[in-house]
Amino acid sequence: MMQYSVLMSLYKKENPEWFCEAVESILKQTVKPDEIVIVEDGLLTNELENKVKYYENKYEKIFKIVRNSENHGLGFALNCGLKECRNEIVARMDTDDISVINRCDIELKYLEQNSNTVLVGSNVYEFSDNINNILDKRVVPTSYEDIYKFAKKRNPFNHPTVMFRKSAVLEVGGYSALRYGQDYELFGRMLIKGYRLENIDQCLLYFRRDEKTFEKRKNKESIRCYIETVKEFKRQGFSSWKDVMFVITSQTILSVLPSSVISLLYKIVRCKDEKK
25 or 274: which carries more pLDDT confidence?
25
Span 75-97, mean pLDDT? Answer: 97
User: Rounded CA gap, 112 and 67, in Å?
Assistant: 32
Residue 119, C-beta contacts closer than 8 angstroms, at least 6 positions apart: 157, 162, 163, 164, 165, 168, 169, 187, 190, 195, 197, 198
For 222-275, how does the pLDDT look when each residue is reduced to its tens digit (9 = 90+)? Answer: 999 999 999 999 999 999 999 999 999 988 888 777 766 766 666 666 666 665
Residue 148, C-beta contacts closer than 8 angstroms, at least 6 positions apart: 191
- C-alpha distances in angstroms, 207 versus 20, 35, 113? 15, 23, 27
Name residue 10's amino acid: L
216 or 127: which carries more pLDDT confidence?
127
Please provide residue 69's backbone torsions phi and psi, each rounded to the nearest 5 degrees.
-75, -20
How many other CB atoms are there within 10 angstroms of residue 214's CB atom? 19
For 173-225, how does the pLDDT look when each residue is reduced to its tens digit (9 = 90+)? Answer: 999 989 899 999 999 999 999 999 999 999 999 999 876 766 666 788 999 99
How many other CB atoms are there within 10 angstroms of residue 273's CB atom? 16
Please provide residue 66's backbone torsions phi and psi, each rounded to the nearest 5 degrees.
-105, 115
pLDDT at 100 exceeding the cut of 90? yes
At residue 150, the pLDDT reads 97
User: Rounded CA gap, 93 and 77, in Å?
Assistant: 13
Could you write out the DSSP letters of every residue in 193-245?
A: HT-EEEEEEEEEEEEE--TTHHHHTT-HHHHHHHHHHHHHHHHTTSS-HHHHH
Instruction: Report the candidate in 58, 14, 17 with the shortest Cα–Cα distance to residue 36.
Output: 58
